[in-house]
Structure formats: C-alpha cells, structure tokens
Amino acid sequence: MGNVRPLNHSKYGISKNRFWELYYWCLQYGEWKDELKYKTDTVRSMEITDMPSSHDPGDATQQLAIRRVMLEKNCQLIEQTAIEADPDIYQYLLKAVTEDVPYRYLDMIMNIPCSRNTYYDRRRKFYWLLSQKK
C-alpha cells in the first residue's frame, strides 16, 4: 500500500476514521466485481451431520439475487462518484481508489493527462463526494 494520508478534517469535514472507512470500502471493489462475474449459481451440496442447525429459510436463488443487486449498487456508486469527481480522468481515479495505485504509476505507466496537484485534488473530491452519498 502507498502512503495514503487522510483528508484535512477542517477543510472536508471527514474524520480520519471516516476516511479510512471509505478508503477500505473502495478497496473491496475488485472483490465485488469478481463475485458478480463468477458467483452466478446457487447449487450447493447438502451438509449432512447429526447436529441440529438453523438454516436460513430463504430461497438460495433469492439470496443470491439480493446479494448481486447490493454488490452492483456498491460498484455503481464508486464508478458514478469517480465520474462526478472528474469525468476526464475518472478511469484513473477509479483505478487509484479501488486498487491503491499511486500517482507515480498513473503518470509513468498509464500516462494520466493531468498534474499531480490536479489528481490529488480530484481524489480528495472523490472521497468527499462518496462520504456525502454513503
């Protein structure tokens, strides 16, 4: 992980703990995308034991559908917030906030079309907008 600093509380109104909550929530984006891509069936084998257990009485297909809707909603929230922060560099912002990619990588490998100061300003705006929405 890079050297990530929380936002200035007096300027953005986001506490250090709230920032870290949003930061780590965004890092789950890749896991959510993988789950949406690969976890599509509800077929499981039954576990046979002599122990009594309580199983969720809900339908497995219904539970999967609800989970997928929630994951898709989370992914869309992150994507839309990145677009709102800056439509021109949203794909770079998305990569940075979901994969913990530093500006140096974005500049040297991905050729981000903005300065370091502009990038960090938009990243702060992203977290501020996300805090407002979430």
Yes or no: say if 89 and 119 are a contact pair by the CB < 8 Å rule: yes
pLDDT at 21 over 90: yes
- CA-to-CA distance for 52 and 4, rounded, in angstroms? 48
> Which pLDDT score is estimated for 4?
72
**Which positions ≥6 away from 53 have C-beta within 8 Å?**
none
Yes or no: say if 30 and 99 are a contact pair by the CB < 8 Å rule: yes
pLDDT at 22 over 70: yes
pLDDT at 110 over 80: yes
| Average pLDDT for the chain | 87
What digits encode the pLDDT tens for the residues 37-83?
988 776 655 556 666 665 555 677 888 889 999 999 999 999 999 99
In terms of phi and psi (left: phi > 0; alpha: psi -120 to 50; beta: otherwise), the region of 13 is left
| Percent of the chain residues topping a pLDDT of 70 | 83
> Which pLDDT score is estimated for 40?
75
- CA-to-CA distance for 107 and 84, rounded, in angstroms? 21
